[in-house]
A and B are shown apart, each in its own frame.
Chain A
Amino acid sequence: MATLDLHSINKSFGTAKVLHDISLAINDKEFVVFVGPSGCGKSTLLRIIAGLEEATSGQIVIGGQDVSDAHPVERGISMVFQSYALYPHLSVYENIAFPLRVQKLEKTDMDARVQRAAEILQLTDKLQLKPGQLSGGQRQRVAIGRSIVRNPKVFLFDEPLSNLDAALRGDMRVELGQLHRSLEATMVYVTHDQVEAMTMADRIVVLNAGRVEQFGTPMELYHHPQTKFVASFIGQPNMNLIPATVSDVDGTGLKVTLDGGHQMVIPVDTLGVQKGDKLEVGIRPENVTLGEDGISVDISVLERLGGVSIAYGKLAGQTRFCASLPGDVNVKEGAAVTLTMAPEDCHVFDASGQVLRRKSAPALVA
């Protein structure tokens, strides 16, 4: 079956090393999303899997077969490009049929496959048009159609939705999810949009500067980020990171003094932490509430989105802070408020950005 394993993939362009020792084991029929900031090497990794780029070292195994030196067709992959890469001079039909023409497939067989792809993607009445006559979303569908007619084992997508407007992107996210379920194929999907990653993925690979920061399910990444980078990358609005100093360590957790003077005990593993250490405490904007006891924040901007109001402000020590409050909350721009947070909701990161394991985190949904 179409599992995809990467063993110690390294890639350098000249002297610039862009991928560092990447190993991943992707299951059959899994939808895996590579996410990370621009330039972190997502596309490069995807192109190495596709066979468009050669890894400097490492091994690629698809369905148990080493395909490190194989042609893309032999790998059994197909790829959808960010730019769609449709052939402008060919009709929709010919675009979709292109891989089959290359294979010199018989006419009736080809016809059947193109028609089936067109049906799945609702392009049946567009087959005779040229790409220039289609909307962005339809073009994207044609590109997907071209990738499914070959019945590949692994689908590769490089930011396929980034050229679409927000509403269409939402629709296409749902459609791609349905496609994944109906095709029952392994899919690898690159994006820099963490919302896309969270909503579509079975599992997410967070890449940063050519390294895998974490590989896990969306809720795992949300509740148990292994590093500060993952914590601030996943979740919208971003997690707040408050500088803190360790004032005591005992069995129940870590007693810290936050920037601004507020003190709290956070239930995390305290192995190797000493009094006086500088740390960062992470708290998600949605995990704070207005209250009596807590941190004091000067609100500078309040965005009322209806259901929620996002408040942006600063702690006494100038750390920026963001809170997601109820939609009709009675808070004014320019005022100071006190925000309460539960110690169990806090994450703690050491100076190197690694997390201290949370002792009491919510159980993960299956």
Chain B
Amino acid sequence: MVNVVEAASFKTEAPRKRVLSEAVFGWLLIGPAMLFIAVIVAWPLAETVRLSFMEAGLGGEEYVGLANYEDLLESRKFHDTIVRTFYWMFLSVALKLILGLIGATLLNAAVPGRGLFRVLVMPPWVIPIAIGCIGWLWLYNGYFGILSGTMMSLGITDGPFEFLAYKQSAFYSAVVTDVWVGTPMVTLFFLAAMQGVPRDLYEAAYVDGASRWYRFRRITIPQIMPVIVSMSLLSAIFTFNSFEIIWILTEGGPRGATTTLIVDTYKTAISNFKFGEGSARAVVIVVLLGAFSLIYLFFLNKVNKYYGSGKK
């Protein structure tokens, strides 16, 4: 038997006095993280913004106002770089998403040996990017590369083809490598999302006569849509800022054909010691990505509303 009298005595104890108000306690909890972010993110960012108003080099700094930005806005080359960067981003992200979706669907299908395949998609992601890219350098090599060799033996080209030596082929080669590096992560996230879709939904649809494609279109895609949208944003930011791959393969060449904003910024600030102009470019990147992210978040919100279950 429960002793009712004893149980009730808990209530007679006076409530403990609160030492800290809830708000103060909250700030205390996030304080260390805030400090950390201030040191490694906010301060460098502020410093970058400050530098962008300077003519700064190894010799010293001098305030020039908006001159760096004016130069950028007037520069035809910079316009091309922005356009090229967005093209690079959209192309690469689109390919990653499509390949990731196909890959995840195959890996999610009940085929024998899928456990092995799930492991096999990992290497491009796990191998250090530099090492992977050096592998691709060899693949793209005109004299020793397997691609050029195959094309010659198939009679598509009649001599060695140096993939990274021509403006167009270098650009698309860089896209291919970037997609190679970026697809596994997308694939695995999609796979995880697909595995989270309850099996009952598919069975119910099957019983109702829905074909495989219909089930994919009306169950899988809507169910993983929030993940697709967030992955596109993440992937877009990674791709926009993708530096090592381009730098190792082409250093932004030939004749600027693979120079994206981030490569341009690096070349200006670090290779040519124009810290002020480089900083102005960096600020432009921050603004562009910020705007891009806002649009995306807005979109994500819409998607969640549309595809969500209606729960608050």
- The chain A residues found within 8 Å of chain B, CB to CB, are 50-52, 71-73, 77-79, 81, 83, 85, 87-90, 98-99, 102-103, 129-133, 146, 150
Contacts and interface: CB of A to CB of B under 8 A. Distances in A.
B207 A132 contact: no
A72 B306 contact: no
Interface in B175-214: 198, 200-201, 203-210, 214
B15 interface: no
A148 to B, nearest CB: 12
Given A85-B200, A87-B219, A89-B223, A72 B308 contact: no
A114 B116 CA distance: 46
A72 B203 CA distance: 10
Contact of A133 (B206, B306, B311): B311
Given A50-B207, A77-B207, A150-B208, 11 more contacts: A52-B206, A52-B207, A73-B207, A81-B203, A83-B200, A85-B201, A85-B204, A87-B219, A89-B223, A102-B205, A103-B209
A98 B204 CA distance: 10
Nearest to A131: B309
A78 B208 contact: yes
A89 B209 contact: no
A130 B308 contact: yes
Contacts of B223: 88-89
A81 B209 contact: no
B222 interface: yes
B204 A81 contact: yes
B220 to A, nearest CB: 11
Interface of B: 198, 200-201, 203-210, 214, 218-219, 222-223, 225, 306-311
Nearest to A101: B218
Contact of B308 (A71, A81, A132, A150): A132
A88 B308 CA distance: 7
5 residue pairs, one from A and one from B, having the closest CB atoms: A130-B310, A132-B309, A88-B309, A132-B311, A85-B200
B207 A78 contact: yes
Contact of A71 (B209, B225, B311): B209
A337 B222 CA distance: 66
B209 A87 contact: no
A14 B198 CA distance: 24
B208 A146 contact: yes
A73 B307 CA distance: 27
8 contacts: A72-B209, A73-B209, A81-B203, A85-B198, A85-B203, A87-B222, A131-B309, A133-B311
A52 B223 CA distance: 22
Contact of A89 (B203, B210, B222): B222
Contacts of B219: 87
A71 B204 CA distance: 13
A102 B209 contact: yes
Contacts of B308: 88-89, 130, 132
Nearest to B209: A73
Contacts of B214: 102
Residue of A83, A102, A129, A146 with most chain B CB atoms under a 10 A cut-off = A102
A172 B210 CA distance: 29
B307 to A, nearest CB: 4
Nearest to B222: A89
Contacts of A130: 308-311
B207 A72 contact: yes
Contacts of B210: 98, 102
A98 B311 CA distance: 21
A143 B153 CA distance: 61
B38 to A, nearest CB: 39
A150 B209 CA distance: 11
Nearest to B214: A102
B222 to A, nearest CB: 4
Contacts of B307: 89
Nearest to A75: B207
Contacts of B309: 88-89, 130-132
A281 B223 CA distance: 56
Given A87-B219, A129-B310, A132-B310, A98 B200 contact: no
Contacts of A78: 207-208
B202 to A, nearest CB: 9
Contacts of B208: 72-73, 78, 98-99, 102, 146, 150
Contact of A79 (B201, B207, B209, B222): B207
A122 B219 CA distance: 26
Contacts of B225: 89
Contacts of B198: 83, 85
Contacts of A72: 206-209
Given A72-B209, A85-B198, A99-B209, A79 B204 contact: yes
A81 B200 contact: yes
A190 B45 CA distance: 64
A133 B311 CA distance: 6
A198 B143 CA distance: 82
B261 to A, nearest CB: 37
Contacts of A77: 207
A72 B210 CA distance: 11
B30 to A, nearest CB: 31
Contacts of B207: 50-52, 72-73, 77-79
Residue of A71, A89, A133 with most chain B CB atoms under a 10 A cut-off = A89
B310 A98 contact: no
Residue of B207, B225, B306, B311 with most chain A CB atoms under a 10 A cut-off = B207
A77 B204 CA distance: 11
A202 to B, nearest CB: 24
Contact of A52 (B203, B218, B222, B310): B203
